[in-house]
Structures are given as structure tokens and as C-alpha cells.
Chain A
Amino acid sequence: MLDEGIDSYAGSERYSEAEKIALRYSELMSTNPDAVDAAFFDELRKHYDEEEIVELGIFIGINLGFHTFFGSLKFYPLFSPDGRLLTQEQSEKLYGSAPVSLKKETAP
């Protein structure tokens, strides 16, 4: 579901309209902030109250900020998707230099 939310939420049947607009807010803030306009906020208001919209905006903004910085520091998760403790070298090999789907790592 995580991968679907990142890659193809717009056409997914697993996400509600409220979830889709929140995911779109997240996507547009980083890729096309000019599209976050009055009409977009009108659409957000159909699903969220103003407290929730501000909460989402703060959450997205701070994530935009820190993922870029943390990425530059080149440190990797301590654990594998199935919970094994990893060295940084093992983790770098598993997770790679850029975020990718972990679907195949977690498949039974």
C-alpha cells in the first residue's frame, strides 16, 4: 500500500478521496508548489478542516526540509524491513543511494 501511495495513488481504489488529496498536497509541495493555489485549498477543505490542513502543511514542509539534509549526510536505517539490525555498510547496500520500493525485500 505504501508503494501504491507513492507511485500510483491517483488511480488507486485503496485510497479515499481525502487521502488522495493529502498525497497530492505532499507531491505538489515538492514538485510544483505553484499548483498549490486557492482552488487546491478549496478542494482540501472538502475533506479536511483548517486545523488538519495546517497540520498537513507543517508536516509536509518539515519533511521536505529534513529529508534533503539527512540524505546529504549519507546515513542509512539501522534495521532492515524485516527487523534485522544492520551495519551502515549493509544498510547502504540494501537501501541504496536513492529511495526505491522495498516491496521485493518484504515479500514473503
Chain B
Amino acid sequence: MNQEAIKERLVSAFGAEVIQGAVLFADQMAVTVVKDKILDVCRFLKTDPDLAFDLLSFVGGVDRHPASPRFEVVYQLYSMRHKHRFRIKAMVEEEQEGLGTIDSVVELWPTASWHERETAEMFGIEFTGHPDPRKLLLPEEWYVYPLRKDFPVEGTEDTPDLPAAQIREG
């Protein structure tokens, strides 16, 4: 199936109000999906026999600061059976209190676990329903989100070399 046909299939299944935007660039389609429907759309992409996206290549995030909604979560899919690829996005709003949330897709593709953990700790996006929501790469006691555009790349006093409990007294 080519990219346009996959998109048409999604629109006919979910309607234009769920499958919002579609950008074709370099023969690759990226469709934007309503955040609350991400799990339904992913389940359809995986289980529909003509699509059969059985491999989740990647989950990542984008910070569009200062645009609103601020964050994108990007899912890169591949079908081993049909040898076609597809890319879907969901926009996540920055919340005034707490973190922006989106449903986890670990129940569909277990490989999403580490990708979502990294996206969560780097951008401050909460993946609801994730079975193991610990940090993946950053120290457990950090509460900063380093891949946000407004984070200073050289770090802050919130990114110490050692955990406070291990800093030696002089």
C-alpha cells in the first residue's frame, strides 16, 4: 500500500475529525491524530490485515516551544508483512499544572516501553497506562526535562554531578 492509500484507509475508518492533518514529504506521509484516539488508531493500524503494522520502529517527541500545542509525540511504524512504513503524530498540550498526558501504546507494541520512558523523561510527557514508568537514562532524582527548548543545555543546579546524598562533606 502506498502512503496515500494508508491515509485514506485511516480516514474512512475514523473520519476526518480524528485524522486531522496529513503532510507528504519525500514520499513519506505524516498524519496528525487526535490525542485521545491514539490508542484506537494504533490498534487499527496494527490489527487491520491490509495495514498490519506489526513493528513500532520508534517513538519520539518534538518540542514546538513556544507554539501551542507545545509537544508532538511521533510514532514511526513498519509492516513486516507488507513492507510499508507510516508515521503518525499526536499533539500534546503543555498543562498549567502537572504534565501533559497521552495514552501509552505498550499494550500493542511492547517495544514502546523504553521509547516512551525516554520521551517522558526528556520532554515531561506522561504516558498513561505505561506498565513501568521509571526513568530510562537520566538519574532517578532529577526532575528537569533536558530536551525541552527552554532548558539550558549546559545544565542547571538541578542537574548535579552526584545525588545530594553522595556529595562528600569537606
Say whether A associates with B.
no
